Chains A and B, each alone.
Chain A
Amino acid sequence: MSNRSLAAATSTEALTTELPAGRSTGWWGMVMFVTTEATLFACLLGSYFYLRFQHGGEWPPGGIEQPKLLRPLVMTAVLLPSSLPMIWAERGIRRGDRRRLRYGLATTLLLGSAFLALQATEYAELFHEFTLTTNAYGSLFFVITGFHGLHVLIGLTMLSWLLAAALRGGSFGAHRHDRVRNAAIYWHFVDAVWAAILFTIYLSPRL
């Protein structure tokens, strides 16, 4: 074996084209994006507490009732577990199992859509009592939950897009699933934020 072919056989390229080694740039990019988004939500929830404690007195102000708990708890029970089929799908495609990817994505999509539908019914009911423009509490309530709802919608768009690519075939496999992993990170983030919102908006006024 000549020196040159030995070098070629043991080159970085030859050794690493089989399986990706290390974190990809896409993974880091998504993690950084989620970090900055999480900071945005932290500022939003921080603003809620700032306005609440600066206001003092009754909270919610202006005769608005305490938020009801049943529906948000059902919404939580729908949204938080929706990460599980996503994890299942991602683990599946890591082994090259496209069926798991498709079923997992479809299940998560269903759960996420159910969450949004429930949120829509909640809004329809609350609009009789207060809106975005009633007072700062109304603004906070609808902007925080609405902004999260928008994130769920974006997450669902990403999942539908993944599902379309997965159904086409030739998109993902054991060696190529960066996009699945990145969308999964985003979805888990949207779930985790909901837990913080549940605590802030629905539970903390009762403490």
Chain B
Amino acid sequence: MSTTTAPPPGASQEDLARLEAHWGERASLRSWFGTVDHKRIGRRYLVTASLFFVLAGISALAMRTQLARPESSLLSPEEYNQLFTMHGTAMIFLFATPMLFGFGNFLVPLMIGSRDMAFPKLNALGYWVFLFAGLFMWASLPFGAAPNGGWFAYVPLTDDRNTPGLHMDVYTLGLLFLGIATTAGSINFIVTALKLRAPGMSLNRVPLFVWAIVATAFMVIFALPALNLDNAMLFLDRRFGTHFFDPEAAGNVLLWQHLFWIFGHPDVYIIVMPALGIVSAVLPAFTRRGVVGYVLIVLAIVSIAIISFGVWVHHMFATGLPHLSYSFFSAASTIITIPSGIQIFAWLATMLLGRLVVRVPLLFLIGFIVTFVLGGFTGAMFALTAFDQQVTDSYFVVAHFHYVLIGGAVFPILAGIYYWLPKMTGRMYHEGLGKWAFWLFFTGMQVAFFPMHLSGLFGMPRRVYTYRDEPGWDVWNLVSTIGAYILAVGLLLVLIGVVHAIRRGRPAPPDPWGGDTLEWSTDSPPRPYNFPVLPQVHSLHPTWDQPSRSSMAEDATADRILADGRRTLFTSELDGRRERVVEMPEASVQPLLLALAMLVFFTAMLFAWYPFAAAAAVAVAVTIAVWLWPPRRPEEELGVVR
């Protein structure tokens, strides 16, 4: 037993040995491909999403280099179109959401005191599908066939007449493929949070991060179908000659925009909400108190999730819709700032009332507040239709959403990486290196994106591959490019910091920060079964309160150790009362096979090899049928009368 392992007084050595036998995974190729451990899957999500982040980031650097001076010819217009489309698409779909789902996968079962997700095999499927969909989309870039119509792919630009070739088929099919992973992951989060919470964890004791993930998952359930339908229709229009978006045959191009933004605006919150959850999770450890206004924040999370479905038209203020609808959506867009404001003030109050411990995660939180609030300011400006129409499709918009998304998602994600690195790897990071990374990243971010407000106000449109030597544009573009490189150096230091921690970091204790949630009651990294004794939760801050802590130690009971199999507990949805003990599934390669069959299906659809696609669809059905086939049981156990 290593020195980092806390002595578990609750469970006996035999119990621990049996738990290890049921949950442990021996290192083998089969276990690598078949694992259903939420911690391994969560880490894979994080690593894979980071890889796509690096690819999308290199695309951005290439574009910034091209724009550093006027009339540059480093990139051709065709290359530039593919790079900005892949940059946006990958950052939104292949980095932000999967990265946060990675945190969710690793943390939700730990935070709620469970031994795995509700559907471990579905979880593994989600990861494989995400990986394959990401590779499917990126693989098109070296062939010059990557999506090139912008991340929101407006028709008629993207129809088969204006964008022939595979470009937009890669986009529609890739996102449909990825949608399977996102939907499966969301359903898994919801059900896990409803049924697998430790006994005693009633809804008012659920950590804010879990609330945020569940609200996000609900938004996915209701928002993603709109995007899926949109992409399916575009694919049918392009490939099979339907006329959904064709005004000459009773179709309508604005249908694309409506469906896209019915998904797209909730998606902003799908990205930002779990990141705000990270903020609420990290803050208590560095202010030495609980977050102020727990109930208010929960209400804010829920109301944002609902109102976000009523603001989509503010992306379409320049399309000539009736003015009455502008007023409605303008009002809704203004209202949604209220719950967002509540959260910001709750965090500020927490910092004011607490005792600050200035470590790297806290620095990133402060960077988050500054940057996100600046993005919020310009967001409130867009809610005014007249202003929106002035700056739409200019660099002002580019500046705004980078402030919102880097501020609202990347800063919290980086805070989360430093905060949970000890838990995930069992190693501490280097504080000095982390501080350098923060300051470079923060400075680079401001230097890169603040001037874009100005170049936008000076009239520079977004998505141009180059520009003339106009007065006022060249200086700010050069400054932006310099900022982008500083930002990249900051991110490189983050990467070096992580690698350094894994290879050379000193071993992390189970609870290096004095955190309040249950993951800090496990080893660093946690054992495969997470908790030797499942906790009995007595408060919102179980690791800070004595009864909850001792429920895992001297007050352990056999019905919370459950060492006779791969077992965990179901509890009731609202009150977290015990319901029953359940057997969890073992490792299996079925998820990988299913994802591979789907990959074959989507690839065959892309190249119009329809017989292959049909065969792959049959393979999908057969794999699912085998996966879910009921095991044979004796009749007494089943309860058969006749």
Which residues of B are found within 8 Å of A173, using beta-carbon distances?
633, 635, 637-640
Q: Whole-angstrom distance from the CB of B363 to the nearest CB of chain A?
A: 38
**A162 nearest in chain B by CB position:** B630
Which residues of A are found within 8 Å of B259, using beta-carbon distances?
43, 47
Q: Whole-angstrom distance from the CB of A127 to the nearest CB of chain B?
A: 15
Contacting pair B243 A98 (CB below 8 A):
no
Contacting pair A12 B569 (CB below 8 A):
yes
**B336 interface hit (Cβ, 8 Å):** no
Contacting pair A136 B244 (CB below 8 A):
yes
Contacting pair A16 B579 (CB below 8 A):
yes
B241-264 contacts to A (CB < 8 Å) = 241-244, 246, 249-252, 254-255, 258-259, 262
Q: Whole-angstrom distance from the CB of B161 to the nearest CB of chain A?
A: 15
The 0/1 profile, CB within 8 Å of B marked 1, for residues 170-185 of chain A is 1111111001000000
Q: Whole-angstrom distance from the CB of B536 to the nearest CB of chain A?
A: 12
Contacting pair A36 B638 (CB below 8 A):
no
A-B pair count, CB < 8 Å, reads 189
Contacting pair B558 A8 (CB below 8 A):
yes
Contacting pair B250 A62 (CB below 8 A):
yes
Q: Whole-angstrom distance from the CB of B465 to the nearest CB of chain A?
A: 34
**B228 interface hit (Cβ, 8 Å):** yes
Tell me which of B188, B224, B240, B625 contacts A132 (CB under 8 A): B240
Contacting pair A25 B191 (CB below 8 A):
yes
Q: Whole-angstrom distance from the CB of B618 to the nearest CB of chain A?
A: 10
**B246 nearest in chain A by CB position:** A136
Q: Given contacts A96-B638, A175-B639, are A135 and B258 in contact (CB under 8 A)?
A: no
Bound form: Cα–Cα A143–B246 in Å: 16
**A94 nearest in chain B by CB position:** B639
Bound form: Cα–Cα A170–B639 in Å: 10
Q: Whole-angstrom distance from the CB of A176 to the nearest CB of chain B?
A: 5
Bound form: Cα–Cα A143–B258 in Å: 19
**B628 interface hit (Cβ, 8 Å):** yes
**B222 nearest in chain A by CB position:** A39
**A30 nearest in chain B by CB position:** B187
**B230 nearest in chain A by CB position:** A43
Among the 9-residue stretches B75-83, B421-429, B472-480, B570-578, the one with 4 or more Cβ atoms under 8 Å from chain A is: B570-578
**B26 interface hit (Cβ, 8 Å):** no
Contacting pair A17 B244 (CB below 8 A):
no
Contacting pair B252 A55 (CB below 8 A):
yes
Contacting pair A176 B630 (CB below 8 A):
yes
The 0/1 profile, CB within 8 Å of B marked 1, for residues 6-34 of chain A is 01100111001100111111001100110
B542-598 contacts to A (CB < 8 Å) = 557-559, 562, 569-570, 572-573, 578-582
B605-642 contacts to A (CB < 8 Å) = 621, 625, 628-630, 632-635, 637-642
Q: Most chain-A Cβ atoms within 10 A of its Cβ — which of B122, B242, B625?
A: B242
Q: Whole-angstrom distance from the CB of A178 to the nearest CB of chain B?
A: 9
Bound form: Cα–Cα A42–B225 in Å: 9
Q: Whole-angstrom distance from the CB of A77 to the nearest CB of chain B?
A: 29
Q: Given contacts A17-B580, A179-B628, are A95 and B641 in contact (CB under 8 A)?
A: yes
Tell me which of A17, A44, A132 contacts B581 (CB under 8 A): A17
B494-512 contacts to A (CB < 8 Å) = none
Which residues of B are found within 8 Å of A194, using beta-carbon distances?
none
A147-166 contacts to B (CB < 8 Å) = 157, 161, 165
Q: Whole-angstrom distance from the CB of A39 to the nearest CB of chain B?
A: 4
The 0/1 profile, CB within 8 Å of B marked 1, for residues 90-103 of chain A is 00000111110000
A109-159 contacts to B (CB < 8 Å) = 132-140, 143, 157
Bound form: Cα–Cα A50–B188 in Å: 33
**B183 interface hit (Cβ, 8 Å):** yes
Bound form: Cα–Cα A137–B250 in Å: 7
**A54 interface hit (Cβ, 8 Å):** yes
Q: Whole-angstrom distance from the CB of B381 to the nearest CB of chain A?
A: 30
**A72 interface hit (Cβ, 8 Å):** no
Which residues of A are found within 8 Å of B237, using beta-carbon distances?
139
Contacting pair A139 B243 (CB below 8 A):
yes
Which residues of A are found within 8 Å of B629, using beta-carbon distances?
165
**A67 interface hit (Cβ, 8 Å):** no
Bound form: Cα–Cα A12–B582 in Å: 11
B186-234 contacts to A (CB < 8 Å) = 186-188, 190-191, 194-196, 221-222, 224-226, 228-229, 233
Which residues of A are found within 8 Å of B558, using beta-carbon distances?
4, 7-8, 11
A49-104 contacts to B (CB < 8 Å) = 50-51, 54-55, 61-62, 95-99
Contacting pair A51 B255 (CB below 8 A):
yes
Which residues of A are found within 8 Å of B634, using beta-carbon distances?
170
Contacting pair A29 B633 (CB below 8 A):
no
Q: Whole-angstrom distance from the CB of A126 to the nearest CB of chain B?
A: 15
The 0/1 profile, CB within 8 Å of A marked 1, for residues 154-194 of chain B is 00000000000000000000000000000100111011001
Which residues of A are found within 8 Å of B635, using beta-carbon distances?
170, 173
Q: Most chain-B Cβ atoms within 10 A of its Cβ — which of A32, A37, A165?
A: A32
Q: Given contacts A22-B572, A32-B221, A47-B259, are A136 and B578 in contact (CB under 8 A)?
A: no
Tell me which of B196, B226, B251 contacts A51 (CB under 8 A): B251
Bound form: Cα–Cα A62–B122 in Å: 46
Bound form: Cα–Cα A172–B222 in Å: 33
Contacting pair B570 A22 (CB below 8 A):
yes
**A40 interface hit (Cβ, 8 Å):** yes
**B282 interface hit (Cβ, 8 Å):** no
Which residues of B are found within 8 Å of A40, using beta-carbon distances?
225, 228-229
Contacting pair B640 A135 (CB below 8 A):
no
Bound form: Cα–Cα A99–B580 in Å: 29
**B531 interface hit (Cβ, 8 Å):** no
Contacting pair B580 A143 (CB below 8 A):
no
**B119 interface hit (Cβ, 8 Å):** yes
List residues of chain B with CB under 8 Å of any chain A CB: 118-119, 122, 183, 186-188, 190-191, 194-196, 221-222, 224-226, 228-229, 233, 236-237, 240-244, 246, 249-252, 254-255, 258-259, 262, 557-559, 562, 569-570, 572-573, 578-582, 621, 625, 628-630, 632-635, 637-642
- 27 A-B contacts (beta carbon < 8 Å): A7-B559, A11-B557, A12-B580, A16-B580, A20-B580, A22-B572, A23-B195, A32-B187, A32-B190, A32-B191, A35-B221, A35-B222, A36-B224, A39-B221, A50-B258, A51-B250, A51-B255, A96-B640, A97-B641, A136-B252, A161-B628, A168-B632, A170-B635, A171-B638, A173-B640, A174-B639, A176-B637
List 12 extra interface pairs beyond A29-B187, A170-B633, CB under 8 A. A8-B558, A13-B580, A16-B581, A25-B196, A28-B191, A39-B221, A47-B255, A50-B258, A51-B251, A132-B240, A133-B240, A134-B249
List residues of chain A with CB under 8 Å of any chain B CB: 4, 7-8, 11-13, 16-17, 20-25, 28-29, 32-33, 35-37, 39-40, 42-44, 47, 50-51, 54-55, 61-62, 95-99, 132-140, 143, 157, 161, 165, 168-176, 179
8 pairs of A and B residues whose beta carbons are closest in the complex: A173-B638, A174-B639, A139-B242, A16-B580, A40-B225, A96-B641, A11-B559, A170-B632
